[in-house]
Amino acid sequence: MEQGKRVEKKQKNKMSKEGIEKKKSIIVRTFITILAIIVISIVALIANDYIILDNNKRTNLVINNKNVTSNLKNDVLIENNIIYLSKQDIANFFDKYIYKDKETNQIITTYEKKIATIGFEEKKININGSEKNIYASAIQKDNIEYLPISEMNDVYDIEIQNIEDTKVVTMDSYNKEQKRAIVSSNLPVKSSTNFIAKTVDRVKKGDIVVVISSDKGYTKIRTEKGKLGYIKSNKLENEYTVRESMEEEKQIDGKINLTWDYYSTVGSAPDRTGTTIDGINVVSPAFFYLDEKGNFKENIGNKGQAYIEWAHSNGYKVWPMFSNAEAATKSLSITSDIMNSYEQRQKLIENIVNSCVKYKLDGINIDFENMKQEDKDMYSRFIIELTPRMKEIGLITSVDVTAPDGGETWSMCFDRNIIGDVADYIVFMAYDEYGVSSSKPGTTAGYDWVKLSLNKFLQTEEIESDKIILAVPFYTRVWTTDGNGKVTSDTVSMKNINKVIPDGTERKWDEDLKQNYAEYTKGGNKKQIWIEDIESLKAKLSLITENNLAGVGSWQKGMETDEVWGVIKEYLEK
């Protein structure tokens, strides 16, 4: 019996070993099969001149050789050969300030050197004041507003192509470089430069493709079907440039050195024949203003024209100041009414542009102050709509603003971020920390306050440093406190400060303000003055260098001492 059990155990062991071997064989065969499939797949992928895996189910949008389809808020519409892009997508890709005007029921869009309006009824578009007929109007579909972008290539300065076979729409900016080349053989276009990559298109010998970039033996291209992918660089020949990149030329090389050359709306331009101002490159005379009825007025005349000739003969650019001071003094509603009407804004812009052309000016300095806080966005619209019209004729738009913190009509009426983004320059009027309406004495422009405010321009408002002009004062105030505690002030120019302060008065340096301070008694009243002099000026000028600002502005010519021009020039050249 024991023998039988041993035989039976041997037979079971033998069967177990055979089972294991059988399982091993199955596993090996399965592995070989899988490996064969992988190899075949790789071979197919390598030889994949017949596999196209990237067929579009929706219209793809390629802007400047980048497929932005995944970023679309709404689908691209194509109806009756007209290509429509939603207002939201126009805002995303071309004009973030696109705006629907409720008064006219038109969409207003700006881009570089163009401002255009298009409605929902008439097949017309107005570009920079000129109207033309087009084949489609704006439309509304499923509560979404669409613009016929294929009829607006002049606005956005783009070349548009609709490739129906592959459901691709391409848009190329005329101001960006484009290169093309000829394909030297038939080959697939890959989605990447990886060893295993899907085919997005095929090109044939003699095809012309757009060259996007080259790296490590591969070139990224755009095919005639609008597909983006890679081929080996040695498969391209006869590369040529279709158009060069167009860079906007700066009107002034180096730092801006602007001075306001002020005279009243009823006075005449100063006669500066035979004189020069060392180091400056921009003058801003008070040529234009809104009168108390909101009309655009000029104060130039023969003397003003002579002033322009003097400036140009000395190499100075002329960016005259356009003020709303007279209108604002009468009523804040005057400026408000203009800002809140598209038609009135356009009328004002036409006046500015026409006057700049008439007098051969180089730019404009918008100095609107004392505005309603609730008009902040509409004032921004004014700057948004003015700037492209000025750019069209090669002129500069500079806009004056106050410090970020202050009253509703003095400070909170500006959207500095938008103004700084749109205008060529934003001018920070870094003075009147304690102004004429202050109930207590204080400095006109303390260094610590100027620096703190400037940091808000740069960090909170996120304005590019090379667009900020820091304007400094050539004046200060003498503060008087009488026996009853009443506080009043009188403006005194920098050149006259030493005449005002009695001889022997002690001057103390304030390290935080970086100013000298003087205090004395006159007629039984307490007098206080925070002095603007060369030392306080140097401190503020150092902020321009430290923060790489665009330059300096100075208010106003005629208040300064003779030495300031050499100091400003020295600091701007650092």
DSSP 457: I
CATH superfamily to which 256-473+533-572 belongs: Glycosidases (3.20.20.80)
User: Which token pair is 354?
Assistant: 């026409």
Contact between 445 and 472 under an 8 Å Cβ cutoff? The reply is yes
- Tell me the CATH architecture of domain 60-163: 2-Layer Sandwich (3.30)
The reported pLDDT for the residue numbered 16 is 58
User: Which token pair is 59?
Assistant: 């219209």
The reported pLDDT for the residue numbered 217 is 96
The reported pLDDT for the residue numbered 9 is 53
Q: Which amino acid is at 286?
A: A
Determine the average pLDDT of the residues in 51-77.
Answer: 87
The reported pLDDT for the residue numbered 247 is 86
Q: How many residues does this entry show for the chain? A: 574
Same fold yes or no, 60-163 and 177-243: no
Q: Which amino acid is at 502?
A: P
Residue 294 backbone class (left: φ over 0; alpha: ψ -120 to 50; beta: rest): left
Rg over CA atoms, the chain? 35
Residue 362 has pLDDT above 50, yes or no: yes
Task: Give CA–CA dist 72/83, Å, rounded.
Answer: 14
Per-residue confidence at 51, pLDDT binned at 50, 70, 90? very low
Name the β-bridge partners of 228. 222
The reported pLDDT for the residue numbered 42 is 52
Name the β-bridge partners of 65. none
Q: Is 429 helix (H, G, I), strand (E, B) or coil?
A: strand
The reported pLDDT for the residue numbered 382 is 98
Contact between 516 and 433 under an 8 Å Cβ cutoff? The reply is no
Determine the average pLDDT of the residues in 350-361.
Answer: 98
pLDDT higher at 196 or 360: 360
Residue 221 has pLDDT above 90, yes or no: yes
The reported pLDDT for the residue numbered 574 is 87
The reported pLDDT for the residue numbered 96 is 98
Residue 348 has pLDDT above 60, yes or no: yes
pTM: 0.90
Task: Give CA–CA dist 484/497, Å, rounded.
Answer: 26
Strands (E), 319-423: 321-323, 363-367, 396-401
User: Which token pair is 294?
Assistant: 């909101």
Residue 4 has pLDDT above 90, yes or no: no
Q: What is the dihedral of CA 201, 207, 210, 211, to 10 degrees?
A: 90
What phi, psi does 547 have (nearest 5°)? -105, 5
Determine the average pLDDT of the residues in 151-179.
Answer: 97
Task: Give CA–CA dist 526/513, Å, rounded.
Answer: 21
**In the chain, helix, strand, coil percent, each to 5?**
30, 30, 35
Per-residue confidence at 273, pLDDT binned at 50, 70, 90? very high
pLDDT tens sequence across 88-105? 999 999 999 999 999 999
CATH superfamily to which 177-243 belongs: SH3 Domains (2.30.30.40)
Per-residue confidence at 52, pLDDT binned at 50, 70, 90? very low
Task: Give CA–CA dist 542/556, Å, rounded.
Answer: 20
Task: Give CA–CA dist 174/184, Å, rounded.
Answer: 27
Q: For the sheet with 106-111, list strands across it.
A: 99-101, 106-111, 114-119, 124-127, 130-133
Residue 46 has pLDDT above 60, yes or no: no
Q: Is 215 helix (H, G, I), strand (E, B) or coil?
A: strand
pLDDT tens sequence across 91-143? 999 999 999 999 999 999 999 999 999 999 999 999 999 999 999 999 999 99
User: Which token pair is 264?
Assistant: 């009243």
pLDDT tens sequence across 190-210? 999 998 899 999 999 999 999
The reported pLDDT for the residue numbered 60 is 97
DSSP 254: S
Residue 10 has pLDDT above 70, yes or no: no
Contact between 361 and 320 under an 8 Å Cβ cutoff? The reply is yes
The domain ranges of the chain are 60-163, 177-243, 256-473+533-572
Q: Calculate the average pLDDT of the chain.
A: 93
The reported pLDDT for the residue numbered 41 is 55
Name the β-bridge partners of 365. 321, 398
The reported pLDDT for the residue numbered 264 is 80
Name 160's Cβ contacts closer than 8 Å, sequence gap at least 6. 83, 149, 150, 153, 169, 170, 171
pLDDT tens sequence across 281-305? 999 999 999 999 999 999 999 999 9
pLDDT above 90 as % of the chain: 87
Q: Is 276 helix (H, G, I), strand (E, B) or coil?
A: coil
User: Which token pair is 171?
Assistant: 């848009």
- Tell me the DSSP string of 48-67: -TT------SS-EEEETTEE
Which range among 154-163, 242-251, 273-282, 283-292 shows the weakest confidence by mean pLDDT?
A: 242-251
What phi, psi does 505 have (nearest 5°)? -70, 130
Reported as type and span, the H/E element at residue 209 is strand 208-215
Residue 524: count of CB within 10 angstroms of its CB: 7
pLDDT tens sequence across 472-513? 999 999 999 999 999 999 999 999 999 999 999 999 999 999
